[in-house]
Amino acid sequence: MRANPRLRPGDIVEVKGAEEILKTLDTDGTLDRLPFMPEMIPLCGKRFRVSLRAVKTCWYGHGSGMRRFPSEDVVLLDGVRCSGADHDGCQKACNIFWREAWLRKVDDPDTAGVGAAGSEGLRARLKTVIGPNKYFCQSSEILQATVELSNWERISKCIDEIRSRNSGISEVARRISVWLFWKSRRVLLGPYLRGNGKSTPVESLNLQPGECVEVKPLAAIRETLDDRAHNRGLFFTPCMSHLCGQQRKVDRRIEKIIVDGTGEMRRLRNTVFLEGELCECSCVAFGGCPRGEFSYWREIWLRRAQSCSENAGHIT
């Protein structure tokens, strides 16, 4: 095993031991303002595959936009999301960002991994709360750890997606085309699927994990939206319309999440994640984003299905 300063998608890495990681952190438990969170400690010594380089990231909270990590040393690992266990049960399930200094590339998978010694000292360095209903995590510090992309960087980052092997040329071109289409449509016609209401309706289905639902038709969903295509502040994105009439299984109920950039714990009602349905950022963000956030679905946009079709759990 050896450290590799430029990890690529497909590389096998091992999360360094707690004592090694502790040496990289400042008094706030961060490296270049990106926190190492308590939820990451149980992963020390374990091995994963690099899924993507985080050449850019979106953020959504009191505003939105695309940003980048100045040091360009951040990757994502296959299937590694935050459990929220040490942050009062936050259910956002964020993809965890990893500094390369916290990882080592595994050249020989047959070699033994590191142990978990020193986790107590590492945990003592990490903080999770910064005030009443305010939490400290990678989501809360996303604006501190990143800088806004300039117009030129929005283009150059698409090139970086190809160079880093995150995506092929055709996929990047597709994302840009999607953005251009929806951008042009907003300029000419306004927000897609905008409704007429100022106050939007509520419906509670009390959906539970594993239940099968069908996404309502566009006409029915439009009736639940205001003139910005929001239902009680939650945006129905153009790309979500592709699922209208399709069946999916409920992954989980979402009742509380930490807001990007502020650390505020926000309460949600009548909202669920659907299995395998991630945000398709390219309809609102130039070139898309590798962050892989789940799409948020109001229950009023869904209805229970009497039976599940074979593709109800299909991941798009």
pLDDT digits (tens, 9 = 90+) for 12-23: 999 999 999 999
312 versus 19: which is more confidently predicted? Answer: 19
What local confidence, expressed as pLDDT, does residue 76 receive? 97
What local confidence, expressed as pLDDT, does residue 2 receive? 38
What local confidence, expressed as pLDDT, does residue 14 receive? 97
What local confidence, expressed as pLDDT, does residue 156 receive? 93
Structure tokens at 58: 């979106």
Bridge partners, residue 213, by sequence? 248, 304
What local confidence, expressed as pLDDT, does residue 280 receive? 78
d(CA 41, CA 35): 12
d(CA 145, CA 130): 17
Surface-to-core class of residue 52, CB atoms within 10 Å of its CB (0-12 exposed, 13-18 middle, 19+ buried)? buried
Could you tell me if 262 and 62 are in contact, meaning their C-beta atoms sit under 8 angstroms apart?
yes
What local confidence, expressed as pLDDT, does residue 112 receive? 56
Mean pLDDT within 242-248:
95
The answer to whether residue 69 scores a pLDDT higher than 80 is: yes
Helix, strand, coil percentages, rounded to 5, for the chain: 25, 25, 50
User: pLDDT grade, residue 5 (50/70/90)?
Assistant: low
- Give the E-state strand segments of 87-246 in sequence order: 98-99, 103-105, 129-131, 134-135, 147-148, 212-215, 230-231, 234-235
Instruction: Report yes or no on whether pTM surpasses 0.85.
Output: yes
What local confidence, expressed as pLDDT, does residue 315 receive? 44
What local confidence, expressed as pLDDT, does residue 272 receive? 98
Question: Please, what is the Cα angle at 63 between 163 and 136, to 5 degrees?
Answer: 80
What local confidence, expressed as pLDDT, does residue 88 receive? 97
The answer to whether residue 1 scores a pLDDT higher than 50 is: no
What local confidence, expressed as pLDDT, does residue 249 receive? 96
Mean pLDDT within 168-177:
93
What is the residue-averaged pLDDT of the chain? 91
| Each residue's pLDDT tens digit, 192-236 | 888 887 789 999 999 999 999 999 999 999 999 999 899 999 999
Please list, in sequence order, all residues whose beta carbon lies within 8 angstroms of the beta carbon of residue 52, skipping any fewer than 6 positions away: 9, 75, 76, 164, 166, 290
What local confidence, expressed as pLDDT, does residue 202 receive? 95
Helix 169-189 vs helix 151-163: crossing angle, to nearest 10:
150
The greatest distance separating any two alpha carbons of the chain, rounded to the nearest whole angstrom, comes to 62
Mean pLDDT within 266-289:
90
What local confidence, expressed as pLDDT, does residue 197 receive? 73
| Residue bearing tokens 């659907």 | 274
The answer to whether residue 4 scores a pLDDT higher than 60 is: no
The answer to whether residue 115 scores a pLDDT higher than 60 is: no
d(CA 286, CA 68): 14
What local confidence, expressed as pLDDT, does residue 196 receive? 83
Cα dihedral 64, 69, 72, 75 sign: negative
The helix/strand/coil state of 250 is strand
181 versus 306: which is more confidently predicted? Answer: 181
CB neighbour burial string for 289-308, b if at least 16 within 10 angstroms, e if fewer = bbbbbbbbbbbbbbeebeeb
Beta carbons within 10 angstroms of residue 311's beta carbon: 11
Mean pLDDT within 153-178:
92
What local confidence, expressed as pLDDT, does residue 312 receive? 65
d(CA 279, CA 188): 24
User: pLDDT grade, residue 110 (50/70/90)?
Assistant: low
Number of helices followed by number of strands (H, E) in the chain? 6, 21
286 versus 115: which is more confidently predicted? Answer: 286
Strands 271-274 and 247-253: antiparallel
